[in-house]
Amino acid sequence: MPELPEVEVVRRGLVNWVRGRTIDAVEVLDPRSIRRHALGAADFIGNLEGAVVSDVVRRGKFLWMPLADSTAAAAEDPGTAPAPKAALMAHLGMSGQLLMQDPSVPDEKHLKVRFRLSHREGMPGQLRFVDQRIFGGLFVTSLVPTDDGGPGGLAESPLPLIAEEAAHIARDPLDPAFSFDLFYQRLRKRRTGLKRALLDQGLVSGIGNIYADEALWRARLHYARPTDTLRRSEARRVLDSARDVMLDALDAGGTSFDSLYVNVNGASGYFDRSLNAYGRTGEPCKRCAAAGIHSIIRREQFMNRSSHTCPVCQPRPRNGRW
């Protein structure tokens, strides 16, 4: 599954190409890719044709494009346009890609849905959803008010609206409206282990297994640390670490932002060289090695997955919780 930075790479890559453009036509080449749209292909197409893509928004790993009424000329003057009521939701799944292509480019082998966009000088005319393994998909959903009145997520022109499917998840560490105080309050009440809390999308969204292990390593905290014993400074440290790891991954993927080929794996090069804990089982801990201490990264089973820790700089708490 793509992690949050990869989805953010897609959002940034896409927004400059699609924002303010009208969807002139939609072609569903494989109905399996819109199976989450319960009312079927005709309804899917009917909702989209003639709509203006007003933005590309992300919260956690959820990505959506709010749809404005084209008659409102939302693109030219967003200030006077009525708020969008619906959005095109994109689940990238394992292999989903959103590609900007010129109509002259032959169809990709796994092309599933094609959007013809209104003409824009120097920009490709089509947005294509390509998905080899069909775990991803597209559907139209409602936009609902956010529960805290803040922006729905990271966006170019933030609105206090969120795609219904994403409304239940907490803000992610890259969201400017993320509230550390609220996170810390909820964290202290959880009475669980720290890593389980970091993976809980209702507490903080967008942190997957890799980023949890990396954030814990950077913060020098063990995954089983009981959350109700965490000091404010420790909670701040692990959250800042999660944000820093994500920002580093974004920097590494930044070169692909201007590419026409917006790939969910855009940031994957980061993982080849920058991981400190995840996937380094049996290798020396870099921080300990720098201090002249010999310590080996250890892998343990955790929630049907694995956790990677350094036994020296992330010691196990006596009263650990899983």
Q: Which residues are catalytic?
A: 2-3, 61, 305
Tokens of 278: 């995840």
- When binding is defined by CB under 5 A, the residue of 95, 201, 268, 295 that contacts Zn ion is 295
We find the least distance from the C-beta atom of residue 275 to Zn ion, in angstroms, to be 14
Nearer to Zn ion, 103 or 292 (CB): 292
Residue 285 is a binding residue for Zn ion (CB under 5 A): yes
Question: CA distances (Å), 254 to each of 33, 57, 249, 264, in order?
Answer: 28, 18, 8, 13
We find the least distance from the C-beta atom of residue 277 to Zn ion, in angstroms, to be 9
Q: What is the 8-class DSSP label of residue 206?
A: S
* Cα 22 to Cα 20: distance, rounded to the nearest angstrom: 7
Is 190 part of any known ligand binding site?
Answer: yes
- Residue among 241, 207, 261 nearest 314 (CA): 241
Considering only the stretches 11-19, 83-91, 166-174, 283-291, report the one whose residues sit in contact with Zn ion under the rule CB under 5 A: 283-291
- Residue among 159, 172, 166 nearest 142 (CA): 166
Contact 55, 78 (CB under 8 A): no
- When binding is defined by CB under 5 A, the residue of 73, 247, 296, 312 that contacts Zn ion is 312
We find the least distance from the C-beta atom of residue 210 to Zn ion, in angstroms, to be 18
Is 222 part of any known ligand binding site?
Answer: no
Contact 221, 313 (CB under 8 A): no
3-class state of residue 111 by DSSP = strand
We find the least distance from the C-beta atom of residue 197 to Zn ion, in angstroms, to be 22
The mark string for 231-270 relative to Zn ion (x by CB under 5 A, - otherwise) is ----------------------------------------
Nearer to Zn ion, 246 or 310 (CB): 310
Cβ burial, residue 284 (10 Å; 0-12/13-18/19+)? middle
* Cα 9 to Cα 257: distance, rounded to the nearest angstrom: 6
Considering only the stretches 47-55, 150-158, 159-167, 313-321, report the one whose residues sit in contact with Zn ion under the rule CB under 5 A: 313-321
Residue 275 is a binding residue for Zn ion (CB under 5 A): no
Is 299 part of any known ligand binding site?
Answer: no
Sites of contact with Zn ion (CB under 5 A): 285, 287-288, 295, 310, 312-313
- Bind-site residues for DNA: 110, 133, 190
